[in-house]
Each structure stands twice: as C-alpha cells, then as structure tokens.
Amino acid sequence: MKPSLKPLREQVIVITGASSGIGLATARAAAEAGARVVLVSRNEPALAEIEQQLGGGDRLLHVAADVGKREDLERVAQQTIERFGGFDTWINNAGSSVWGRLDQVSDEDHHQVMQTNFWGTLYGSTIALAHLRDKGGAILNVGSVESEMALPFHASYSASKHAVKAMTDVLRIEVEQSQLPVSVTLIRPSSTDTLFMDHSKNCLDSAPTFPPPVYAPEVVARAILDAAERPQRDVYIGNAGFMTKLAQNFPALADLARRTFVYNTIQSGRPDSNPEGSLHNDRVGAGGEGQASGGYPGHTLKHSLYTTASQHPVATTAALLLGTATVFSLLGRKRH
C-alpha cells in the first residue's frame, strides 16, 4: 500500500533531539507550518523554554527522555497519544559523538554513541511503527554522509550511522513487503552548523571541525519536513550525495581524500573549551540548548540546490526551462 501523508498543518510530529541543532530547526519549521509538535530531548528545562518560545498552547508538548532507553521512548509515544490522540510522523534525530583515534577512545564512549545513535533510532522506529502500521504515516531517520563515507577520528559515530542506514533499509523492505501505509526515509546531512561539536566528547589535541561545505540546520529541516509530506527513500543534503557516490564507486580516491584533506581539516588547531561535551550527561547538554546554529567560523550555506532539485525534480526542471527560455528571449530582443 502506497503511503499517503498528510499536509504538515494536519500532522502531529514527534522530534527527538529537539533542544538544539537540526531537531530544533525542524521543530520551529513544523510549528510555523501549523503542525502539532512533540519536543523530545534529555534536557527538560530547555524543552520547556523552547515550548514557550514556540508559542506554547495546546499544539505543543515536551517530554524529557533519553532515546537510548526504550522505556523512555515508549513513554513519549504514550504521552503523545494521550495528548493528541496519536502521531503521524516520528523523526529519529537525537545523536551523540566522540572524536579521537581508535586507540584514544574508551569502550564506554563508543558504547554510549552506539546506544544513542543506533539503539535510539531502532527503539524509536519500532515504537513508531507499532502505532503507524494501521493508520499510516512517516518514520524519518537522520543518518549522515557518514552512513557511507566514514570520517577519520569518528569511528563509533560513522559505525552508528552505517548501522542506522542498514536498519532503515531493512525496515523499509519489511514495511513495503507487508504493504503497510508507512513511509520510511533516511535523511543524510553533510556538515551542518549546529552545536554538534560542542556536545561531542573530544579526545583530540584540538577542537574538531567539519570539512566544508557546511550547511545551515534549516536546510536539513526543510528537507526533513518535505519528506514528512511526500514519501521519499533517501534524502541527501548538500554534497552528501556526491560523497556517497565517491565512497561507493571510487573507494581508493575516497580514502586518499580522507587521509589528506579530511584528516587535516578535522584537527582545527584551536583549543577545545569543553572536551567532555555532553556524551554521558543524562540531564543537560554542554550549553547552547535552544540554539539551532552553532559557531562554525567559516561560510555557512543557507540553501542546497542539489537537495531541492532531488526532492522537486519536476518543479526544478520547469524552473530551469523557464529561466532558459527567458534568457533566450532577452537575447533575441537585444539582437533586434
């Protein structure tokens, strides 16, 4: 059965990792579009403040929860059902990270990253599916360009996003084979200007930074909400599509790029004011909650033409044809 998704203004949307970054940008955009929004993160005070910033009222709900604990996410689903009668879209966005060579990072840190990123996404996906299998809706899992293109110093994060991709693919196949009216989408952002680095634990000698190009979190938020209205398999943000193809088709070249440019770029040379981040903090983050954008020192892109074109190929083609026709028309007039 082909999923039929509601307009955002008619939806109830659950968003994990909603206290900052991509999650917060998505929550803001969803609320502006008229959706009822459930904000989820570990930081209850931050969520309460964000709820008020978004207007409060009966269209918003916040639930403090650790996505790495199934019982916490079951409570999120139950409170959402009690408040709104159910939900239409569940966005598994929450994530954690540790930077360092494999011989620097402890097993405990690797485990925590996997618990949040992989198990949190698996828990959320299965809980959401149990609710949506009859009524229909969307499950959106936030992967990464690292779902295919692993980065140096980021072993457990890259591994977790590889695992999220595999689990999402299996979930999609099983849903489609069972003819359930549920859309399953993997979102693949590339470098994004959020508080990700501030919240990551860091074992390197300097603060880590993402290789460019870097995109604003609102770019990812728009792509996520587009997939909440129109079923899509994979959504690539910015250069994530190119980097994925590079890793798949030219692995030796991808390795060369990672050994040289990427390896050196990640090590910024700047001091890290909070190397512990919030990896093991069960209640609050490393500061900056309620803030979507981070402090990336370079240029941040506000739009991704690739993402827009891939999500709206017909409209993009029409716009290009119209633009081309206009140019030729103007040129023709000048000749006369």
User: By the 8 A CB rule, do 198 and 272 touch?
Assistant: no
Token pair 């969803």 in the structure block, residue? 30
Contacts of residue 223, defined as CB under 8 A and 6 or more positions apart, other chains included, come to 187, 235, 237, 304, 307, 311
User: Which token pair is 305?
Assistant: 């033409």
157 labelled catalytic:
yes
Question: Which contacts of 62-66 are long-range, i.e. CB under 8 A and separated by 24 or more positions?
Answer: 62/18, 62/38, 63/38, 63/39, 64/40, 65/16, 65/40, 65/41, 66/42, 66/282
Q: At what angle do helices 155-177 and 107-114 cross, to 10 degrees?
A: 30
Beta-sheet pairing, 89-92 with 137-142: parallel
Please state, as a whole number, how many other Cβ atoms lie within 10 Å of the Cβ of residue 67.
27
Instruction: Indicate which residue of 157, 215, 236, 296 is catalytic.
Output: 157
Longest CA–CA separation in the chain, Å: 74
The label of the residue with tokens 């955002």 reads 8
Q: Which of 200, 278, 221, 305 is nearest to 21 (CA)?
A: 221
Q: Report d(CA 231, CA 137) in Å as an integer.
A: 9
The Cα 306–Cα 209 span in angstroms is 23
User: In whole angstroms, what is the distance from residue 187 CA to residue 232 CA?
Assistant: 9
Which residues are designated catalytic? Answer: 157
